[in-house]
Amino acid sequence: MSYYKIVFFSLTAEKIQDTKYFINVFSRTNGKLKLIANGLGKPKSRFTKLQLPFILAKGMIYNSREQSGFILTDIDIINTFEYLRSDFVSLNSLSYFAIFLNYVLAERLKNTAFFDKTLEFIKNNAILNLKTILSYEMLTLDELGYLPKLETCQNCKSAVPDGFYMFNFDTEILCKNCAEIIKKNNVEQTKKKTNYFDGEFIQFYKELQAKKNLKNCCELDIEKLNNILLKKLENYLNNFIINIHKKCYDDYIALKKIIRAYKNGD
């Protein structure tokens, strides 16, 4: 029986039996893994904190044929990021990030560089808000290959330097001519709202994309996200998120309502 040491973020926990849980984690060397934690439901279990999102820990695991998965045998907590958990919006944002990553990360696909960027992002943000959430979503989806380059229409391949169109909850980048033709000839698309993304959005998006750095994104470029760009970035990313998993989109909408209610003192 071979044991392995891994460093990971806890993402989500699923109860299997009274004291047995699946813990979905994002590990530095093995990507997303589903670990089996025995005894987690007990009051003094050393695994109890793994029910919380984004606990950074070092763990010992082995692959069990009998239980068809990786068994977590021991952990050392490295960081709980209490400064984020003490803020209501940041705490709810951490929960959303965990759900978001659980959907977008592929099983056992190593991405050490992205793990390190995520760790830097969490370490270097004393508070999370809608701007940092959208920036993290954008760089995550781009890093993992979900987002196309904003250069050409994906239908006719013509350049779209001054703007492009997308149907609500579709991921295809279209020029004006193709968007009009498709809407005219496709009954389903006729029912959908058409979103237009102008040259200012493309310029901002490419600047953000070029950074490839979560820390710099949140410290520098985030100030350029005015309300108009914020809404456009949100609409653009939601088209991809809902196609990855509808529950992920629903959770984002729920988080947005929480942030608004908290901001308004409801």
* Per-residue model confidence as pLDDT tens digits over 73-108: 999 999 999 999 998 889 999 999 999 999 999 999
- 178-203 average pLDDT score: 84
**Residue 256 in this model has a pLDDT that exceeds 80:** yes
Give all domains of the chain, ordered by start, each with its CATH number: 1-80 (2.40.50.140), 82-266 (1.20.1440.120)
pLDDT at residue number 218? 47
User: What is the band of 220 on the pLDDT scale with cuts at 50, 70, 90?
Assistant: very low
How far apart are the C-alpha atoms of 194 and 190, rounded to whole Å? 9
* Per-residue model confidence as pLDDT tens digits over 139-169: 899 889 899 889 999 999 999 999 999 998 8
